[in-house]
Structure 1
Amino acid sequence: MDLERARFNMIEQQIRPWDVLDLDVLALLSQLKREEFVPATHRSLAFVDMEIPLAANTEEALRNGWCMLAPRVEARLLQDVAPKAHEKVLEVGAGSGYMAALLASRAQRVISLEIQPELARMARENLQRAGIRNAEVREADGAKGLAAEGPFDAIVLSGSVHEVPQALLQQLKVGGRLAAVVGNEPMMRATFITRTGETSFTTTQPWDTVAPRLEHFPQPSRFHF
């Protein structure tokens, strides 16, 4: 495979048409080697417009949401949450470590929480191999956030949730942003929540997508008759 041609096509045919027009983000996507964060068995899919399974058992990975997000979703989340060089970012759902790597390339420090031990280990090893020193992966339940290390300038949920827990919103600084994919299949919305005061928040939902579920977040009530 011509990796650089495949990377160029990914950016020009998938990412740019999805309104990712920030030149710094596009440059970062061309420089940070996405294929190095993909399991060897799926490396040929590194630039395909799909979610990539991160476990040896593909069906189990897809069923449990152990996947890398599609490239265009990663890129749009990065562009729209817009981390800055002085900011501290919390990520929930490390996966392979690629989103943490993207965030760390823009922010001062990233802490990424991953509930699955094997994924936490994979993400940690991938980040170390890529030489990224300002991103740390911790094995933890990200649904609770990380209050002891907060407040954060930005929180990114690398997966979908039915709703954003208040506990996470309370870990934002005033002026901080939270990015998540919210809703239920077949329709989910990219949701950006900005803390505007001690008890006030503003929300925008500028685009639609679908993403794997993050574990341990509240699910909608199911009524049985």
Structure 2
Amino acid sequence: MSTKKRMIEDQLKGRDITDEDVLDAMQQVDRELFVPEDKKDRAYDDSPLPIGKSQTISQPYIVAYMAQELNLEESDTVLEIGTGCGYNAAVLSRLVKKVYSIEIIEWLSKMAKENIEKTDYDNIEMKHDDGYEGWSENGPFDAIQLTAAPAEIPETLKKQLKIGGKILAPVGTTSQKLVRIERVSEDEYKEETLLMVRFVPMTGQAENK
């Protein structure tokens, strides 16, 4: 059994997580609030964990890595596509002014809301919907993070970024890569691949593209 302290020291600091704000956010959020009762003794394991119906909570390292690679500021507004159990949104909420999060699976969206209610975090707004179209009425966003993999990043999401804003997303079907896209002008984007990953596929409209 791993503890939160061991997670911070071994899984995060022991690798390449050096951003103190990210480390502090990971320290603040209790991962055991977001896992099923029978998995609480494994809440800080160095791995994803099943949360029901083939869904998982991400490995702590991946949550921290993605947050670090977005280089977030306290004043930022972030859109998350794929709330899951709410853990990633909770971590992001400790780093930024506001998190908007969309989950396409109804029971998972309900679970996330129940999990977030166990915390005192009041800067997360969630809804049950298809995230392919984003959440334009609350944009443009400083950052957009996807926690499910489309075959390619939807143009609708790219257009909801501020100039200078970044999207971080797993992209691909059989083979996935974690991609960071920065909007450098109205019609220009800079893309880089960070590492190979494995996420659940993005569903809904993304399946038909």
TM-score range, shorter chain: over 0.9
Moved over 4 A (4+): none
> Contact 2:104–2:204 (CA<8 Å) still a contact in 1?
no
What does the per-residue CA deviation read over 1:147-199, in whole Å, with 9 as the maximum and x for residues that have no partner?
A: 222111110101222210111101111111111011233x4221110100000
What does residue 6 of structure 1 align with? 3
What does residue 193 of structure 2 align with? 205
Task: Extract unaligned runs of 5+ from structure 1.
Answer: 56-60
2-side partners of 1:119 and 1:175: how far apart? Answer: 32
Give 1:217 deviation, angstroms.
5.0
- DSSP-derived class of the 2:148 partner: strand
2-side partners of 1:220 and 1:190: how far apart? Answer: 21
What does residue 112 of structure 1 align with? 101
- DSSP-derived class of the 1:19 partner: coil
What pairs up with 1:66-145 in 2 under 5 angstroms? 66-145=55-134
What pairs up with 1:7-46 in 2 under 5 angstroms? 7-46=4-43
1-side partners of 2:44 and 2:205: how far apart? Answer: 29
Q: 1:17 to 1:184 in 2, by over 3 A?
A: farther
- DSSP-derived class of the 2:109 partner: helix
TM-score of the aligned structures, taking structure 2 as reference length: 0.92
Q: 1:162 to 1:45 in 2, by over 3 A?
A: farther
What does residue 181 of structure 2 align with? 193
1-side partners of 2:68 and 2:113: how far apart? Answer: 24
Q: 1:220 to 1:119 in 2, by over 3 A?
A: closer
Which structure is larger by alpha-carbon Rg, 1 or 2?
1
Task: Extract unaligned runs of 5+ from structure 2.
Answer: none
What does residue 152 of structure 1 align with? 141
2-side partners of 1:160 and 1:47: how far apart? Answer: 24
2-side partners of 1:148 and 1:168: how far apart? Answer: 12
> Contact 2:173–2:201 (CA<8 Å) still a contact in 1?
no
Give 1:212 deviation, angstroms.
1.6
Give 1:47 deviation, angstroms.
1.4
- Superposition RMSD in Å: 1.8
| Residue 51, structure 1, aligned to residue 48, structure 2 | yes
Moved more, 102-111 or 9-18: 9-18
> Contact 1:54–1:119 (CA<8 Å) still a contact in 2?
no
What does residue 58 of structure 1 align with? none
> Contact 1:53–1:68 (CA<8 Å) still a contact in 2?
yes
1-side partners of 2:108 and 2:48: how far apart? Answer: 15
Give 1:12 deviation, angstroms.
2.6
Q: 1:83 to 1:135 in 2, by over 3 A?
A: same
2-side partners of 1:17 and 1:132: how far apart? Answer: 28
Give 1:219 deviation, angstroms.
4.6
- State the one-letter code of the partner of 1:107: V
